[in-house]
Structure 1
Amino acid sequence: MNLETWNSELSHFLIGNNIVLCLYLILGVLGNGLVIFIYVVRMSKKSDDRYFIPSLAAIDACACVIGSSYALALNLLPVRFPGDFLCRALWFLSQSSTISGGTLLLVIAVHRYLKVCRPFVAKWSLTVKRMVVLGTLLTALVLSVPTIFLYGEIKVVSDRYTVGNVSLVGYRCGNKGSAGALFGYNLFLFIFAVTGIVVITICYSFIGKSIYSKVMTYRKSIKRSNVIPPRPDLSVSTITDIRRSKICEPSSTDNEVENGGLPEKPIEQEKGNMFLKIPDQSHQAKRRSHDKLVKANIPAMINHFHHYKYSYMFMTITLVFVIAYLPRIVIMLLESIFVQTFWHKPDSVVVGLLFLYRLYILNHVVNPFIYGFFDASFRHEVKYLICRHKKKPINPDSHTGH
């Protein structure tokens, strides 16, 4: 038995995990590369709402490359990892890309809150945005420095395989620091992550409350006034116009008479010696009025989602990040508590834990699909690049959202 055979035996049961990592790598690089190209090169209109998307896509692409490559190296070379420096560097870069992505989502949440809930506050200038992105990267780098001292190349001695009377010796990349230091660092990361999630949740709760308030005010206004507002984007001016029109509108009974509607009570007409009742048409009139309001609401709600599409988009991205990242930070915390025994489990359990541990990479992979779902202009550009029309189609995104 030699080291190569031992390494192959340990890595064999991780083939499925390796396939998933390869998909992460390919889709993440292609998807985020397409996002960067389209938003930087193809988009002629520089939108305030889209500013952070290329930066987030660049971080996502780096996270996919570093995270997937590092995980593949750990899977394929469990006892033949090539060098202490490479181990420390990959841990540092992987941690930095993950923290920077989460921190940038926190910055985006604060930016969305100010834009939607505090629109009269001074807008962030281009210089401020650049400094914020740079500060995000520097924060991630500083918070990742401890990994350089906590992780490295570790000697592994086999209890089962020997060459002659000497046990096989391999090398893997893993925790090299003290158990207390590792636990303290992972506990700090856990608190940092939870704090960031709480702040993000508060920001998007206020955003959701603001949007919901405008929706309900809009619906009540058109229901009472029975008029279709000229601007169904639920803005403050729209709601004001609706309220003013409601005051000036005559009563519903007067409207029915003026529009040729029938009164609610049936009318009796004499014809010869018989009285004929004209059927009660108030129900049909109410139904037509209801259908009219429903038809008015459809384009209004479409306009509403277009108006707030970026808020909904970043909410979705953040939710996916939280779902994908929490298993990793929890497993890291448990790993630092049960240093010697945590990974000593059956192969199927280890495969499941590794999948959850690396699920954070999926967040960086699916973001381009989320952009495509919410941003019509992005879909438009993707279709244009695929179809290669001679003339550029008309951009469907006539105005930006919030």
Structure 2
Amino acid sequence: MAPCTQDFLLNMENMTLEQVKTRLDEIETEELPYKVPTFIFLASLLICGIPGNIIVCFVYKFNFPSGPSKSFILGLALFDLQVCFIGVPFEIVDLKTDYFLNIPWLCKIVRFSNTLASAASVLTLLVIAVYRYKKICLPFKKQITMKEVRYAFIGVGISALFISWPALVFYGNQTKTIGGYETTDCSFDNVFMGTFYPQLYQVFLGVLCFIMIGILVVLYTLIVIQIIRQKRRGRALGSHSGTLGSRLDLTEDTKHKPPSGLRKGSKALSASTLSIGGEVRCATLERKQAKHVKRSQTTIMMLLVTLAFIVSYMPHVLLQMTRRLDSGFEARVHCNKSASAAYKLFLRSFFLNSAINPIIYGFYNTRFRNECKRLLVRLLHIRNAKVQVSTASSD
């Protein structure tokens, strides 16, 4: 243990239990200012995450056509809502109370819920990556159908349950005795303290997360390379389309010369036919390019969602693995108030993933942004109508 922690314990050895409890209350109060950044972070996630994900669910459910992408986005939004409603509020309480949180059953449920939602999210992102890979890199192969999407979600649910059920067993009350007073916290249960099972479970989750992230990085790297190739090919086709059309017109005029008596009318007919053919070719090319652009935009949007997941989870996973593999890590961090404040914040970095997706959709998906504006206008109209009715009835 670090010297400051030793002093902290020694200073309480000659106190009564009531004095120890009072001192622990004072320590929690003294440390509150260093927790303010984390409180602001979690409160911001609640303010943005709950309404944002509800809007995503409503808009995509009622304003977007059925398809795999819609199902995937709705699934992610529901997992994020689960974290916002259950995980974040409990984490605010847990952050405030370092020594007196004694609700073991709620601790088990929340830790299980967070692990379940996290596992389901990363597995859904993996399915999305496979779907986008087939769309972009293998467009002429058999694509994922809605029936297969339903099977994929069943697989995601079963796999997430398999990954997260140990949390119901391992988590609970962890008690420590300070100056003769028994403190409690939501962590691995006392039953498993001194065993290797909690560390093994944390390492398992960390390794699994790194494997999933590695697969996602490989798939999206291949996808981005293919998108760049398609854009280059599209620019090349666009630059040569005019030249190709003029060459075809010239060839048609010179190869098939009509008889002298019908030359004028035939030339007019040939020019008209070639003009229509050129327009059809251009329209077809434009439709293909628009389809490629839309597909690429959706893929890039899901890539940003995946990057947001990776960026938000990496600090949490690295800190969790470090604290489990190094028993003195938390004590050393606690001796430095600034380091302790940063530790408390980044240990909860993964909650960012539960609120950031609606912001990504709003910035990158024009249709989603427009539908949100229409929804806001309708809500304002309804509110104004209610106000007018209320005013009229009062008059």
Normalising by structure 2, we get a TM-score of 0.74
Cα drift, residue 224 of structure 1: 4.3
Other structure's SS at 1:384 match: helix
Query: Does the C-alpha gap of structure 1 residues 102 and 48 become closer, same or farther in structure 2, counting only changes over 3 Å?
Result: closer
330, 352, 361: which one pairs with 2:342?
352
> Does the CA contact (< 8 Å) of 1:80 and 1:172 recur in 2?
yes
> Does the CA contact (< 8 Å) of 1:87 and 1:152 recur in 2?
yes
Cα drift, residue 313 of structure 1: 0.4
367, 374, 378: which one pairs with 1:377?
367
1:37 aligns with 2:58: yes
1:155 partner amino acid: T
Other-structure match for 1:204 = 220
1:100 aligns with 2:116: no
Q: Output the CA distance in 2 between the equivalents of 1:192 and 1:69.
A: 27
Q: Output the CA distance in 2 between the equivalents of 1:304 and 1:205.
A: 18
Query: Does the C-alpha gap of structure 1 residues 307 and 112 become closer, same or farther in structure 2, counting only changes over 3 Å?
Result: closer
Cα drift, residue 42 of structure 1: 3.5
Cα drift, residue 51 of structure 1: 2.3
Query: Does the C-alpha gap of structure 1 residues 246 and 126 become closer, same or farther in structure 2, counting only changes over 3 Å?
Result: same
1:171 aligns with 2:184: yes
Other-structure match for 2:283 = none
Other-structure match for 2:315 = 327
Q: Output the CA distance in 2 between the equivalents of 1:114 and 1:341.
A: 44
Other-structure match for 1:78 = 98
Other structure's SS at 1:80 match: coil
Cα drift, residue 174 of structure 1: 1.4
Q: Decide which structure has greater helix share.
A: 2
2:318 partner amino acid: V
Q: Output the CA distance in 1 between the equivalents of 2:316 and 2:245.
A: 55
Other-structure match for 1:3 = 21
1:131 aligns with 2:151: yes
Query: Does the C-alpha gap of structure 1 residues 390 and 248 become closer, same or farther in structure 2, counting only changes over 3 Å?
Result: farther
Q: Select between 115-124 and 195-204 the one with higher mean Cα deviation.
A: 115-124
167, 182, 186: which one pairs with 2:202?
186
Other-structure match for 1:248 = 248
> Does the CA contact (< 8 Å) of 2:322 and 2:329 recur in 1?
no
Cα drift, residue 22 of structure 1: 1.4
Query: Does the C-alpha gap of structure 1 residues 198 and 134 become closer, same or farther in structure 2, counting only changes over 3 Å?
Result: same
Alignment of 1:144-293 (within 5 A): 144-159=164-179, 167-176=180-189, 177=192, 178=194, 180-226=196-242, 245=245, 248=248
Q: Output the CA distance in 2 between the equivalents of 1:338 and 1:199.
A: 28
Identity %: 23
Query: Does the C-alpha gap of structure 1 residues 184 and 137 become closer, same or farther in structure 2, counting only changes over 3 Å?
Result: same
> Does the CA contact (< 8 Å) of 1:7 and 1:77 recur in 2?
no
> Does the CA contact (< 8 Å) of 1:156 and 1:169 recur in 2?
yes
Q: Output the CA distance in 1 between the equivalents of 2:247 and 2:219.
A: 35
Higher relative contact order (CA 8 A, sep 6+): 2
Q: Output the CA distance in 2 between the equivalents of 1:111 and 1:314.
A: 11
Describe the superposition over 1:274-331 as per-residue Cα deviations: whole angstroms up to 9, x where unpaired: xxxxxxxxxxxxxxxxxxxxxxxxx999886434211010000101111111111111
1:60 partner amino acid: D
Q: Output the CA distance in 2 between the equivalents of 1:48 and 1:327.
A: 31
> Does the CA contact (< 8 Å) of 1:325 and 1:360 recur in 2?
yes
Equivalent residue pairs, number: 321
Other-structure match for 2:39 = 18
> Does the CA contact (< 8 Å) of 2:177 and 2:183 recur in 1?
yes
Cα drift, residue 34 of structure 1: 0.8
Q: Select between 85-94 and 106-115 the one with higher mean Cα deviation.
A: 85-94
Other-structure match for 1:276 = none
Other-structure match for 2:271 = none
1:347 partner amino acid: K
Describe the superposition over 1:140-199 as per-residue Cα deviations: whole angstroms up to 9, x where unpaired: 12111222333220122224xxxxxxx332211113324522222222222211211121
Query: Does the C-alpha gap of structure 1 residues 79 and 128 become closer, same or farther in structure 2, counting only changes over 3 Å?
Result: same
Q: Any unmatched runs of 5+ in structure 1?
A: 160-166, 228-243, 252-298, 392-402
Query: Does the C-alpha gap of structure 1 residues 115 and 246 become closer, same or farther in structure 2, counting only changes over 3 Å?
Result: farther
